[in-house]
Amino acid sequence: MQTHVDATRSYTKRFDAVLAYIEMNIEGDLSVEALSGIANFSKFHFHRQFAAYVGMPVARFVQLMRLRKAAHRLASRGFCSVLDAAFDAGFDSPEAFSRAFKRAFGMAPSSFRQQPNWQIWSATFVVPYLLRKLTMQVQISDFSETRVAVFEHCGSPGLVSESVRKFIEWRKQSGQSPIASSKTFGIPRNNPDTTPADAFRFDICGEIDEPVASNTYGIRELVIPGGRCAVVRHTGSPDHIGETVYPIYRDWLPGSGEELRDHPLFFHYLSVFPETPQDQWQTDIYIPLV
């Protein structure tokens, strides 16, 4: 029995090495010959082994991961041209990239750049391997009631960073929620993918242990209620956190036996910018449960 378990672990480790290699070398040589060599598998059987483990053919998986990288680039705060996104993701031409992107997303890359919609991504790219990985990552945690100072952002999701700047200015000026020692949260009051830009609301929050002093910033007090939550960690820019959020509702929740509490999800930001590059940011997503 132990021999079988060890063999299974070894098999998983070899495939995890292949998947990690794909992610780190998305613009490089991802041929069957190259990938089978990484795992030390026979190239004659690699197609079937990969499809059985991941849930789709290797060529399809590679293309999805390349489109994923391109979508991240297009949605980033820094300007990224369609040409740059195509070449960075390993496509031979912007025309081939645009065709693949539109076929997958139902919209042109330029349209996605103007209004990123991760709900479309989640509905389109159902990868069994990634679903298994998500299930293993979900933790149930008891969140402790937390008193916070809050700045309410009203308007386009693309302008949240400007509201964050104002909130940081208040934190430094008041000293009431020190960035280095106080937790930072974000609470989306509605869905940026389905809410008109001018109606979007997002609470930017910092932990406090005393009443918020009178101020000219519009900062007020709020309590994030305690209770059971499903928690998943998102790594990367918060700009594409929807890529992690949607599968929780679509894939994990229906089979979990859990019921949602009547409170919006919220984010606990574990990293500080610019000390940590945004592609390495870590954010815990909390989904309140009954």
- Say what the pLDDT of residue 119 is: 78
Answer whether residue 184 is part of any domain: yes
Span of 22-36, 160-174, 224-238 with lowest mean pLDDT: 22-36
CATH number, domain of 61, equals 1.10.10.60
Query: What angle do the packed helices 2-24 and 43-54 form, to 10 degrees?
Result: 90
Q: Exposed/middle/buried for 81, CB within 10 Å: 0-12, 13-18, 19+? A: middle
> Based on the structure, what is the number of domains in the chain?
2
Residue in the block written with tokens 């910018």: 273
Q: Please tell me whether the overall predicted TM-score, pTM, comes out greater than 0.85 for this model.
A: no
For residues 164 and 280, membership in a common domain is answered with yes
Residue 9, domain extent: 2-116
pLDDT range class, residue 215, cuts 50, 70, 90: very high
Taking the C-alpha atoms of residue 229 and residue 143, their distance in angstroms, rounded to an integer, is: 7
CB 153 within 8 A of CB 161: no
Taking the C-alpha atoms of residue 232 and residue 267, their distance in angstroms, rounded to an integer, is: 10
Closest CA to 14 of 136, 45, 232, 243: 45
Amino acid at 256: S
Answer whether residue 125 is part of any domain: no
pLDDT range class, residue 277, cuts 50, 70, 90: confident
Taking the C-alpha atoms of residue 113 and residue 128, their distance in angstroms, rounded to an integer, is: 27
